Amino acid sequence: MGRINNSGQLIPLLFIFILIFCLFWFTLLNVGKLMKDKIMMQNAADNSALTCSVLRARALNQLGLLNAILGLPAFGVYVPGLGFTIGKTSYVWWVEPPHKKIGKHTYKDKVKLARKAIKNLILLQDSIIKTYGGGTTYLYSRKIAKRQEIDSSNNETGADEIIPLTSFSLHLKRNSGDIIYLYTTEIYIPPTPITPEIWLWPIPYPYEIERKSKRWLQQDSKNFHKQMTKIIAYKRVDSLSNTGYPVGSGLLGLKKWPDIKTIASSCVYNKKGAMFPEENKNSFMIAFLEYIKAMSGGWYAQLVPVRKQFKH
Amino acid sequence: MNILKKLPNSVREILECCHKKQKGQTAVETFILTSTFLLVVFFGTIQITIICFNILTANEAVFMSNRSSIVQKNFENAQESAKLSCLYILSKQISKDNIFYYNIKLKREKFIHTASLTYYQKVMFLGRYFYKGIVNSKMAISSSIDFLDKAYPGAKKWEE
């Protein structure tokens, strides 16, 4: 009778136990990754939305200040303003200093300068609107969402993409109206033994009338109050950070790894007022006065409830 | 076997008897080992996995609770919202055998909300002994509650 060989008896049992432990371990790894991703994606959506609003607030504050300058009356002073309005017409008059040349003289240099200053100011405003009211804001928000997480090789493994559900537009319109540029006339007749000195300065005279020209910025009456941004940040199944996941898919029978989508809303607010005049208001210094009213408040950004579809 | 035949009968009987008794030894050893292994290591692993899973879920719950509370208009709404969010996330884990009690507390200090979730979880084979988990989350609240649905004084609401 031979002796029974018992060696190796526990190996299959140990193998099964190790397999089961691995299953638990894999499950934990997968669930942990999913939850970490979900929290990170919510952060990505929040930060992306907040970035968008911060840029919007920055743009509105800059535009408000430029609008206030445009809203000043450039009548007799060297200010690039259109605020001196009578009816629907703005009058711009940069006074030429006196030259005291004998006779009647008209000077156009300062008018040309005033016109150029106003055009440049409007150009500057337009460039800010183009920059912040669309592409750049989207790019910044997208970058923030993507860089929410980076791997050891410095690859961006945050959100794959963002979907804006609202417009990035600043909801501002350009007020248009007639602008009359005035030049300065000077009449000087030196004194004689018989007649006294005659010096008439400054005398305004129309130099150029621009019909329906661009003036200050005003609210878009339909949308200006909608200063809210809603953004969805998502991570796809085939995202770079999902490489290798789910761990142990063969053992666990997992073939699908879920997409993760998160949503966030933010807005800009000003505690004092709108900062920009209402549509088609043309009263005296309206753009400047609206800015002064809302200046101490300023535009700020904050997170807000998403509402409707997904209520946070 | 030849050596056994040479031995006296009495000694041979004793040795054969001993040899027969060794036959069930491995089975007994395996049974004892398996029982110990199953009870301590196997169920221990299951329990640790459940605890870890619950910690992850609780973290998610407290994060979402705080996230929902920071955008509410007042503290009462914030508390209600935090409780609802917490219940929503934890609901699948709540049972008499898993998380059987939880409590979420919200604290507001100036611009910071601190959400603290305490939960009790049953531990296998330990009867009256429970695992107590505490997870926290801090977030900055929306700075102006008056402007959560409109942009400036006198403005229409966003949805209008």
Residues B110-128 pLDDT 10s: 889 999 999 999 988 877 7
- Choose the closest CB to B56 out of A6, A31, A268: A31
- Find the closest chain B residue to A21 by CA distance: B45
In chain B, which residues have their Cβ closer than 8 Å to the Cβ of A300?
143-144
Contact A17 B37 (CB under 8 A): yes
Q: B interface mutation test: which of A303, A309, A310, A311 has the most B CBs within 10 A?
A: A303
Residue A42 pLDDT class (50, 70, 90 cuts): very high
In chain A, which residues have their Cβ closer than 8 Å to the Cβ of B34?
13
In this predicted model, which residue has the larger pLDDT, A65 or A258? A65
Res A14 pLDDT > 90: no
Residues 6+ apart with CB under 8 A from A239: A157, A160
Average pLDDT of every residue of chain A: 90
**What average pLDDT does the segment A134-155 reach?**
91
Residue B15 pLDDT class (50, 70, 90 cuts): low
Q: Is residue A10 part of a domain?
A: no
In chain A, which residues have their Cβ closer than 8 Å to the Cβ of B77?
none
Provide the shortest C-alpha distance from residue A146 to chain B (in Å).
20
Q: Is residue A246 part of a domain?
A: yes
Q: Bin A309: left if φ > 0, else alpha if -120 < ψ < 50, else beta.
A: alpha
Whole-angstrom Cα distance, residue A17 to residue A196? 119
**What average pLDDT does the segment A179-185 reach?**
92
DSSP output for chain B: -HHHHHS-HHHHHHHHHHHHHGGGHHHHHHHHHHHHIIIIIIHHHHHHHHHHHHHHHHHHHHHHHHHHHTTSSSHHHHHHHHHHHHHHHHGGGBSTTSEEEEEEEEEEETTEEEEEEEEEEE-TT-TT-EEEEEEEEEEEPPS-GGGSS-SSTTPPPTT-
DSSP output for A172-225: EEEEEEEEEEEEEEEEEE---SSS--EEEEEEEEEEEEEEEEEEEEEE-TTTTT
Residue B2 pLDDT class (50, 70, 90 cuts): low
Res B1 pLDDT > 60: no
Bond from prior residue into A246 cis (ω within 30 degrees of 0): yes
Percent of the residues in chain A that have a pLDDT greater than 90, as a whole number: 64
Residue B73 pLDDT class (50, 70, 90 cuts): confident
Residues 6+ apart with CB under 8 A from A16: none
Q: Which pLDDT does position A4 carry in this prediction?
A: 63
- Find the closest chain B residue to A306 by CA distance: B71
Q: Is residue A287 part of a domain?
A: yes
Res B7 pLDDT > 60: yes
Q: What residues make up the domain containing A209?
A: 42-304
Q: Is residue A107 part of a domain?
A: yes
In chain A, which residues have their Cβ closer than 8 Å to the Cβ of B67?
42, 46, 312
Res A2 pLDDT > 60: no
Res A310 pLDDT > 70: no
How many domains does chain A divide into? 1
Res B133 pLDDT > 90: yes
Q: Which pLDDT does position A174 carry in this prediction?
A: 95
Res B33 pLDDT > 70: yes
Provide the shortest C-alpha distance from residue B66 to chain A (in Å).
10
**What average pLDDT does the segment A188-209 reach?**
90
Res A153 pLDDT > 80: yes
Label residue B70 exposed, middle or buried (CB < 10 Å: 0-12, 13-18, 19+): buried
Q: Does B32 touch chain A (CB under 8 A)?
A: no
Q: What residues make up the domain containing B26?
A: 13-147
Q: Is residue A266 part of a domain?
A: yes
How many domains does chain B divide into? 1
Q: Does A273 touch chain B (CB under 8 A)?
A: yes
Q: Which pLDDT does position B20 carry in this prediction?
A: 59
Q: Is residue A9 part of a domain?
A: no
Provide the shortest C-alpha distance from residue B23 to chain A (in Å).
9
Whole-angstrom Cα distance, residue A64 to residue A151? 41
Residue A310 DSSP label: S
Residue B56 pLDDT class (50, 70, 90 cuts): very high
Q: Which pLDDT does position B111 carry in this prediction?
A: 85
Q: A interface mutation test: which of B38, B152, B157, B159 has the most A CBs within 10 A?
A: B152
Contact A20 B19 (CB under 8 A): no
Pairing mode, if any, of strands A300-304 and B130-140?
unpaired
Whole-angstrom Cα distance, residue A132 to residue A59? 6
Q: Which pLDDT does position B16 carry in this prediction?
A: 67
Provide the shortest C-alpha distance from residue A209 to chain B (in Å).
36
Q: Is residue B77 part of a domain?
A: yes
Q: Does B49 touch chain A (CB under 8 A)?
A: yes
Res B18 pLDDT > 80: no
**What average pLDDT does the segment B69-78 reach?**
89
Res B22 pLDDT > 70: no
Provide the shortest C-alpha distance from residue A28 to chain B (in Å).
7
- Find the closest chain A residue to B2 by CA distance: A1
Average pLDDT of every residue of chain B: 86
Q: Is residue B116 part of a domain?
A: yes
Q: Which pLDDT does position A145 carry in this prediction?
A: 95
Q: Which pLDDT does position B65 carry in this prediction?
A: 94
**What average pLDDT does the segment A137-149 reach?**
94
Provide the shortest C-alpha distance from residue B36 to chain A (in Å).
13
In whole angstroms, how far apart are CA A180 and each of A71, A85, A96, A251, B40? 15, 10, 16, 81, 93
pLDDT in tens, A214-270: 999 999 999 999 999 999 999 998 888 888 888 888 877 877 788 999 999 999 999
Bond from prior residue into B8 cis (ω within 30 degrees of 0): no
Q: Does A10 touch chain B (CB under 8 A)?
A: yes
- Find the closest chain A residue to B85 by CA distance: A312
Q: Which pLDDT does position B39 carry in this prediction?
A: 77
Q: Is residue A13 part of a domain?
A: no
Res A308 pLDDT > 70: no
Q: A interface mutation test: which of B47, B57, B71, B139 has the most A CBs within 10 A?
A: B71
Q: Is residue B76 part of a domain?
A: yes
Res A142 pLDDT > 90: yes
Q: Which pLDDT does position B19 carry in this prediction?
A: 61
Q: Is residue A37 part of a domain?
A: no
